[in-house]
Amino acid sequence: MFDTTDHGRFVRMTRVVSACILLLCCLTLLVQTSSQRLMGCPFCLGSQQLTLRERMDSPDTSLLVEWQLGEVGNLDEGVRATTTFKVVEVLRGDLMQGESLTIDRYQDGRAGDRFLISGNQLDDVIKWDRAIPLSEIGMSYVDSLPQADASAEKRLRHALKHLESSDDMVATDAFSVIAGARYEELSALRNELPRKELRRWVFGKQPIKGQLGVYGMLLGICGDATDRQRLEDLALETTGELRLGIAGVMGGYLLLAGPDGLNVFDREFLMKESCSPSDRFAVMESLRFIWEYGDGCIEQARLRQSVRQQLKITHRPELSIADLARWEDWTVTNDLIARYQNPPDKHIDRAIVSFMVVASQVELEQADDEHVAALTSAREFVERLQKEQPAVYKRAARLLITR
């Protein structure tokens, strides 16, 4: 369904940066406050590309056109590459239906082929984007698209009908609509989610990779006990390698399994020093998802417990330290102070300093009595750091959003 070139590029990029993923995520998490919400689907792996509706409504000019003729061009002979279309429908802009349009680019096609083309006015000239070919299925899809001001419910219902369409363009756009939605909007449609199809896509003989995380999450929203077990089985099929979308499968599983599912993850992943970094990261992603969106299916204290234990298990605990700071778990404050520079490790030390700066910003008058002593220790740590290691403090403080 996805463009294979883009997907391959994404996979190669992921492999290159996988060795650095814990540190980068640690820094990213610490600049988020606990009140911030993810804007789109938590498990969408692609860049949020524009939907067709956005492509139609955002540019200065958008047209449905019909291919008439094209010239490949020849640089040696000074012949320009051009394509001529007939305007079938003006979606946006000042052109007229039936008008002829020639662009300075060759677009492969045959007489009568339909395209969606858009462009923006620059210096009195429209700079045209590459035309999007439309099959009969694609034309029908475009005609049925909800308007830009339609409710999220209407847009999502429309997109759900077209997921995994036989037309790649339609399938990609429908998925983009789903992937760009808020979790709350998707959850509100739990009774309308295509459970049967989701099962086929997630558990089928030819499993989908790029969309797996989103579909796994959706199945967690609408699934039953059978789906719970199958999601668990899929989550535990460890390979030691990066598994695209598995964090969404894990998140969907936790929605259905609750604390029992977290016990499974503790046993099979988090409490094992041999757990691969990619699997550990995926589990932690699923825990963050449940913290934000789980609506109490696992208590926050229980989630903190699973993250706390990572400080002793993993050799690279930066990610866990970041989560505990965001989740305001001050019970580990003194342990982290004792760990600072003992032995020195710049990645762990930076995470600890960031944790302490976050903790030092908590108003003691508003803190629980059980945390006052720990928060006071954090303040004292930061004060010493400002005097003894000012550069280290400034670097950590720049990464944080003021509480």
* Cα end-to-end distance, the chain, whole Å: 42
Q: Which of 71-80, 103-112, 167-176, 354-363 has the lowest mean pLDDT?
A: 71-80
Beta-carbon contacts of residue 2 (< 8 Å; ≥ 6 apart): 46, 172, 210, 211
Helices 277-293 and 318-326, axial angle in degrees (round to 10) = 10
Burial 91-104 (b: 16+ CB within 10 A, else e): bebebeeeeebebe
Whole-number pLDDT of residue 238: 86
Taking the C-alpha atoms of residue 303 and residue 290, their distance in angstroms, rounded to an integer, is 9
Question: Tell me, what amino acid is at 106?
Answer: Y
Which segments within 45-164 are labelled E, that is strand? 61-71, 82-92, 100-103, 114-122, 125-128, 132-134
DSSP annotation of 180 reads T
Query: Residue 206 pLDDT more than 80?
Result: no
- In this structure, how many other beta carbons lie within 10 angstroms of the beta carbon of residue 396? 24
Helix 318-326 vs helix 21-30: angle between axes, to the nearest 10 degrees?
20
Q: Can you tell me the distance from the alpha carbon of 344 to that of 68, in angstroms, rounded to the nearest whole number?
A: 69
Q: What is the pLDDT of residue 60?
A: 94
The answer on pLDDT for 174 being more than 70 is yes
DSSP single-letter state for residue 266: I
CA nearest neighbour of 388 among 331, 341, 333: 341
The pLDDT of 307-316, averaged and rounded, is 83
Rounded to two decimals, the pTM is 0.84
Q: How far is CA 39 from its chain centroid? A: 9
Q: How far apart are CA 180 and CA 156, in angstroms?
A: 10
Q: How wide is the angle at C-alpha 8 spanned by C-alphas 7 and 14, nearest 5°?
A: 90
Quick one: pLDDT band at residue 209, thresholds 50, 70, 90?
confident
